[in-house]
Amino acid sequence: MNQNGKLLLELKNLTTVFPTKRGLVKAVNSVNLRVAPGEILGIVGESGCGKTTILLSVLRLIARPGSIDAGEIIFQGQDLRHLPPQAMRGIRGKAISMIFQDPLSTLNPIFPVGEQIREAMRLHGLVKGRGRRTLEKRRVLEVMAEAGIPAPVSNYRAYPHQLSGGMQQRALIAIGLVCEPALILADEPTTALDVTIQAQIMDLMRRINRDHDAGIILVTHNLGLAAEFCHNIAVMYAGHIVERGPVDLVVENPRHPYTQGLLACLPRLTSREKIDPISGSVPDLADLPSGCTFAPRCPLVRDECRHTDVRLRAVAPGHYARCIQYESGERYTLKKEA
Amino acid sequence: MRAAKIIERILYTLPIMLGVAVIVFVFIRLTPGDPVDIMMGQGGTISAGEIEQLRSEFHLDEPVFTQLWLFLRDAAGGDLGYSYLKKRPVTTLIGEVLPATIELATGALLFALVVAFPIGIISAVRQNSLLDRLSMAFAFLGISMPGFWLGIVLIMIFGVWLQWLPVQGRIDYDVGLQTITGFYILDSIITRNWPALLSSLEHLILPAVTLGAAISAIVARVLRSSMLETLRADYVKLARAKGAPERVVLSKHALRNALIPTVTVVGLQVGVLLGGNMIIETVFAWPGLGRMVVEAIYNRDFPLVQGTVMVYAFTFVLATLIVDVLYTYLNPKITL
Amino acid sequence: MNTSSSLELASWRHPWQIRLRLWRRNLAEFFGELLQHPIALLGGVIVLLFILGAIFATHITRYDPYIGSLRDRLQPPMWREGGSPEHILGTDAQGRDLATRIVYGARVSLAVGILTVVISVAVGGATGSLAGYYRGKLDTGLSRFADLLMAFPFLIFAIAMMAFIGPGFGNLIFALTFKGWVEFFRLVRGETMSEKTKEYVEAAHALGRGNSAIIVSEILPNILQSVLVLATLRMGFFIVTEASLSFLGLGIQPPTPAWGSMVAEGRDVMLSAWWVSTFPGLAIVFLVLSLNLLGEGLRDILDPRLKVE
């Protein structure tokens, strides 16, 4: 990881809302995050907690009627929210690129994959002058090889449906790579793939992070994957970051009851303990309970939890958690049920 | 490889063409009455001897299957029979009026597409806006209106009341157009006869609009619903994330994918064009194939009717073929 | 939706009784939704009005649709100069009251529309379900024949047929259904093929039910709603086609009041009496529009409800 002193991306109080028939949904609720150059940050949480919305907000791809309601998105010193549309387009795909979840539906079915990769270059005019097409094609083949796509020359002309799932994902990654971005937003890049392919893709991404010094924000619901791969982890619940910090600290010593619950849910090969699932289900984001949003499901819940809005507090250097326990410095232990 | 598949597809249409010819042949056999009388129509009185001669000339004494075979053989060779009423071969008669119908059909199709595409696209992009709701309401109306009525109403409004446009025929008599191709618009351009060009365009507007209205309504609706789907597709999200400007996203990514189902529907509309033009040509007294057929029906000139129906059916089969082939170019997932 | 039905199933009655109960409840749900859907409701109400008007034509009109007095010929509609409340929509070239003829014309159009649809559905449905279920030579043969018929544009086929076999109500129905069944054939065939692979069909097989029983009591009820939607939409098309044929003089012959031929008659007096062509045509537009609205509304509501599995 590269420490530069200057942050690659900083989200300050980012709030993204969607008006729905049931009410205003705060998909991203006052989120603060930091990514250093070359850092891999994982955002972990259940489906619907707002992780993908954070990524889309960074790129300002939130579709109407949703909108970014408040906060700053500071990328390399610039607040992206204030950029005029043309400048923002210049950043999308070039300085910040995004890798989506389901490659078969994300790739355009009527164009060959090579052309789709090349389009990313063409849009940003990276190559100019005569012989542009040949140079662009050459670069595309390079990127395809780097992404691990075999026989790039013949696969250039292949259509998405002719490739396997793993190859399609590599093509998506190639699209995300071709302009040498400083930050890559990866939305569940391996969820749709087999386990063995998953491992290969994660290796690839690790290599990209190393070789290109590219920051990566990895969004996933798989805590184990994040634990293996990321430098830092942020745990999200119902639009809030409930815990964040270096991966070792968070995984070895989780401080928020939700994180603790998630880790307890992971089956372990060596242990034969019963898995304790977290009771209850994700709340309706349009109808959030007052106070701590996790209170209804928290095994450590107390009366104050339902009335007090809690902020992220440091529990160790670089390690933060949002729980009432840490407001006053007390610690609670899990009351065992008889 | 693709060429082989295209040829295969073309060959597949041959049995269909054959079936079409057989059905048309059966049609004429369905007509009650003596075949000679039928073929003579109202050609006047003839002597018994001539009747006998005609009988043998038309092989009416021979078994049905021989007649069928002869009919098919002639048709394949381009001989579609002989019209006693007009005393000329059917093929010639058709050839004379075909350019007029092609001009009308082309005009209608062009009008339909020029209207339908912007409406379909904009309605999808600005879904539920006033423009969207209005144009979909109009489209709904368009598919519920019978063509002959729309034609008459347009005639009454633009021809009788406002008197802006002529209401029948293809061109005014006094412009003295020299016909080369038979396509008046082309001919007037070639011979630089500008009054003729103006006149033929004026005459073309109302019939083309009437014929194209229903088609444009259907195409607009299909295009809109296809676009709505493609605009919500994931690959559109990716295109935006790549930094593509909105118009590229619309045209290259969304529209091109939306064209796939739309083209199929447009192909089907050719059938509407072919059928509708009979009605429209009658309403506007447009001297084309449609009007000739309707007149032939009134005059009971069955050979002419038979030949024309075959031509219509063949054209439709051909159009379907072209659409199928076109479809494979648009949609790489489908090979023939 | 089916949670309470499992309670009903718990008391094991005869299968068809259970299905009937589910059906009745689904039907009630359906009507509830229909009443809340403004477009379908509008279409349905107007169609109903037309039907009622056609049935009670003799009671709601004053004049004889066949006979008019030449003295009153070509009277403009009531609100124009020269018109009178005696003839609300005016009279035609033979002095017949236009409004009366339009109401009677509804009989023809609705009769043609309904009959054609019913026969097309019956023929197409029967052949389609057999072809889709049994496949094999029957399927290939029927499908090829259907393809062949589809090679003709509808109107041309109908015109050619009417030209050769002659005009008249019966011939018209024949000509329309001859090609009309194909779409229903294709729909039912396709749906049968896809339903056949579903589990409840296997279950019925396992229970020992015969093939024809399966088709009739298991598969067809589930296909019903798509057929209903298509039938409503096609009915409008058949009515327009009938009107076009009558307009050309190949359909219903005068003096029977048919909207298409009325428009044709109005053509001769188009320059001076615009109402003679306009109003019958408007009747067509309203009826067909309402049918289309109803059909689209039904499609919204029914897709994919009313499936009893």
Q: How far apart are CA B248 and CA B239, in angstroms?
A: 9
**Burial tier of C159 (Cβ tally within 10 Å: 0-12, 13-18, 19+):** buried
- In chain A, the percentage of residues whose pLDDT exceeds 90 is 12
Spell out which residues of chain C touch residue B152, defining contact as CB-CB under 8 Å.
263, 266-267, 270, 277-278, 281
Closest CA relative to residue B313, chosen from B271, B272, B281, B273: B271
| Residue in the block written with tokens 């072919």 | B274
How high is the pLDDT of residue A189?
Answer: 85
Q: For A12, phi and psi rounded to 5 degrees? A: -115, 115
How high is the pLDDT of residue B11?
Answer: 82
B333/A109 Cβ within 8 A: yes
| DSSP for B70-133, written as a single string | HHHHHHHTT---EETTTTEEHHHHHHHHHHHHHHHHHHHHHHHHHHHHHHHHHHHHTTTSHHHH
Whether residue A179 has pLDDT greater than 80: yes
Q: How far apart are CA B60 and CA B63, in angstroms?
A: 8
A110/B332 Cβ within 8 A: yes
Prediction pTM value: 0.82
DSSP state at residue A265: H
How high is the pLDDT of residue B59?
Answer: 61
Q: How far apart are CA C79 and CA C89, in angstroms?
A: 9
Q: What is the pLDDT along chain B (336 residues), one digit of tens a residue?
A: 667 777 887 887 788 888 888 887 777 766 666 556 655 554 555 566 666 666 666 666 667 777 777 777 777 777 777 777 777 888 888 888 888 899 999 999 999 999 999 999 999 888 888 888 899 889 989 989 999 999 999 999 988 888 888 888 888 777 777 777 778 888 888 888 888 888 888 889 999 999 999 899 999 999 998 998 888 888 998 999 888 888 888 888 889 888 888 888 888 888 888 888 899 999 999 999 999 988 888 887 777 888 888 888 888 888 888 888 888 777 777 654
B248/A109 Cβ within 8 A: no
Rg from Cα positions in chain A: 21
pLDDT digits 0-9 by tens, C196-251: 777 777 787 777 777 777 777 777 777 887 888 889 989 999 999 999 999 988 88
What is each CA distance from A70 to A17, A24, A234, B27, in whole angstroms? 9, 14, 20, 74
How high is the pLDDT of residue A222?
Answer: 84
How high is the pLDDT of residue C304?
Answer: 53
Pairing of strands A40-44, A232-237: parallel
CB A37 within 8 A of CB A4: yes
Six-digit token pair at B70? 């002869």
Nearest to A89 among B237, B245, B260 (CB): B245
Rg from Cα positions in chain C: 23
How high is the pLDDT of residue C1?
Answer: 42
Q: Per-residue pLDDT averaged across A79-103, rounded?
A: 89
Residue A110 Cα, gap to closest chain B Cα (Å): 6
Which amino acid appears at position B23 of this protein?
I
Spell out which residues of chain B touch residue A100, defining contact as CB-CB under 8 Å.
234, 237-238, 241
B242/A120 Cβ within 8 A: yes
What is each CA distance from B233 to A121, A292, A302, in whole angstroms? 22, 36, 45
Nearest to A102 among B234, B242, B243 (CB): B234
**Burial tier of B66 (Cβ tally within 10 Å: 0-12, 13-18, 19+):** exposed
B332/A105 Cβ within 8 A: no
Number of H helices, E strands in chain B: 14, 2
| Bond from prior residue into C167 cis (ω within 30 degrees of 0) | no
Count of Cβ atoms closer than 10 Å to residue A271 Cβ: 9
Q: How far apart are CA C262 and CA C247, in angstroms?
A: 7
Residue A4 Cα, gap to closest chain B Cα (Å): 27
Whether residue A53 has pLDDT greater than 60: yes
Spell out which residues of chain B touch residue A97, defining contact as CB-CB under 8 Å.
241-242
Six-digit token pair at B65? 């299957």
Six-digit token pair at A5? 């002193």
* 3-class secondary-structure state, position C74: coil
Whether residue C137 has pLDDT greater than 90: no
Spell out which residues of chain B touch residue A178, defining contact as CB-CB under 8 Å.
none
Pairs across B and C, CB distance < 8 A? 128
Spell out which residues of chain C touch residue B141, defining contact as CB-CB under 8 Å.
285, 289
Q: How far apart are CA B133 and CA C290, in angstroms?
A: 17
Is B247's Cβ below 8 Å from some Cβ in A? no
CB B284 within 8 A of CB B155: yes
Six-digit token pair at B80? 């579609």
Q: Per-residue pLDDT averaged across A8-23, rounded?
A: 87
- Touching A: which chains, 3+ CB pairs < 8 A? B
Q: Which runs of consecutive H residues, i.e. helices, occur in A129-194?
A: 132-146, 152-155, 165-177
Q: How far apart are CA B220 and CA B228, in angstroms?
A: 12
pLDDT digits 0-9 by tens, B157-172: 988 888 888 888 888 7
Nearest to B156 among C154, C155, C270 (CB): C270
How high is the pLDDT of residue B314?
Answer: 84
CB C177 within 8 A of CB C149: no
Question: A266 pLDDT band (50/70/90 cuts)?
Answer: low
Q: Which runs of consecutive H residues, i.e. helices, occur in B126-183?
A: 130-144, 147-154
CB C251 within 8 A of CB C245: yes
Nearest to A123 among B237, B243, B330 (CB): B243
Six-digit token pair at A234? 């942020």
Largest Cα–Cα separation, chain A: 78
* 3-class secondary-structure state, position A218: strand
What is each CA distance from C274 to A72, B253, C243, C271, in whole angstroms? 68, 49, 18, 7
Q: Taking a contact as any Cβ pair under 8 Å apart, which residues of chain B between 99 and 158 contact chain C?
A: 140-141, 143-149, 152-153, 155-156
What is each CA distance from A292 to A238, A313, B70, in whole angstroms? 10, 14, 90
Question: Of A59 and B331, which is predicted with more confidence?
Answer: A59
Number of H helices, E strands in chain C: 13, 0
- Touching B: which chains, 3+ CB pairs < 8 A? A, C
Count of Cβ atoms closer than 10 Å to residue C174 Cβ: 15
Closest CA relative to residue B283, chosen from C247, A258, C73: C247
DSSP state at residue B160: I
* 3-class secondary-structure state, position A92: strand
pLDDT digits 0-9 by tens, B312-334: 888 888 888 888 888 877 777 76
Q: Per-residue pLDDT averaged across A292-312, rounded?
A: 79
Q: How far apart are CA B316 and CA A313, in angstroms?
A: 74
CB B131 within 8 A of CB B232: no
Q: Which runs of consecutive H residues, i.e. helices, occur in C166-208?
A: 169-196, 199-206
Six-digit token pair at A47? 């489906």
A94/B238 Cβ within 8 A: no
Which amino acid appears at position A291 of this protein?
G
Mean pLDDT taken over chain A = 83
How high is the pLDDT of residue C309?
Answer: 32
Q: Per-residue pLDDT averaged across A86-114, rounded?
A: 89
Six-digit token pair at A8? 């690659």
> What's the CA angle centered on A278, arms A277 and A284, to 5 degrees?
135
